[in-house]
Structure 1
């Protein structure tokens, strides 16, 4: 059994990973870290980010799997579509818990993109931990 951690290549990925590491240690779980990519083949930037995640987690005391996942960001409310696809991924790989970051959006961006984390929290069959962008550890 594992914890699915969804990270994005922003300044908060280390905070999300730190929360996930603490949770995994407390629950004696493995981590499956997923970075969502918009293209079917990862760009050099996305591969570099994966390497940054790998380096950050290199001393973890648990099993860690890091993946680049192609999820379709197309169309209106891309955040909603990504949230639904993350839920499908969680069901496919037998996940016990999901950790995801949250970024505040203005009303226009919320209307056009949706909130990935809210979609996941509302529909997940497992517990979800949402890490706000302003958390200091």
Structure 2
């Protein structure tokens, strides 16, 4: 489960926890960062997520992963980073959030969720900020 620092994070985390319990799977939760050394915000996000999954009594690994593509990386590239990471740790299901953008932004920067859906060899659950969850 890739996480961001936005307001959708809690809904995505709850969905992943529910699926992990239902499927009896351990969670691998990752926050992708652009800097080799994580800043205080990234570490705070990691720690908040660790606390949340511990209180939910779910087996989980929570980590920060450096992807090193800089600020100009497209959302499609973020999706590819998620796919590469999923292959490295052998996941069986991906849960991620998606905030719909305008058509121009989708065309120019792409969609991380769409890139993951298109390339994943495992099921993908997308939690939208519109209140909808799709599998």
Calculate the TM-score normalised by the size of structure 2.
0.90
Do residues 124 (structure 1) and 120 (structure 2) align?
yes
Instruction: Please say if 1:12 is aligned against 2:8.
Output: yes
Aligned partners of 1:60 and 1:120: how far apart in 2?
A: 27
Q: Over aligned residue pairs, what C-alpha RMSD do you find? A: 1.7
**Which of structures 1 and 2 has the larger relative contact order (alpha carbons within 8 angstroms, sep 6+)?**
1
**Equivalent residue runs for 1:1-137 within 5 Å:** 5-74=1-70, 78-135=74-131
More deviation, 22-31/103-112: 103-112
Post-superposition shift, 1:73?
3.8
Higher strand fraction (1 or 2): 1
Q: CA deviation at 1:115?
A: 0.5
Change (3 A) 1:37 1:76: closer
Aligned length: 132
> Secondary structure in 2 aligned to 1:52?
helix
Native 8 Å contact 1:79 1:116 kept in 2: yes
**How far 1:135 moved relative to its partner?**
2.2
8 Å CA contact 2:53–2:59 kept in 1: the answer is no
> Does structure 2 conserve the Cα–Cα contact (< 8 Å) formed by 1:15 and 1:135?
no
Residue 122 of structure 1 deviates from its aligned partner by: 0.9
Task: Structure 1 unaligned segments of length 5 or more: list them.
Answer: none
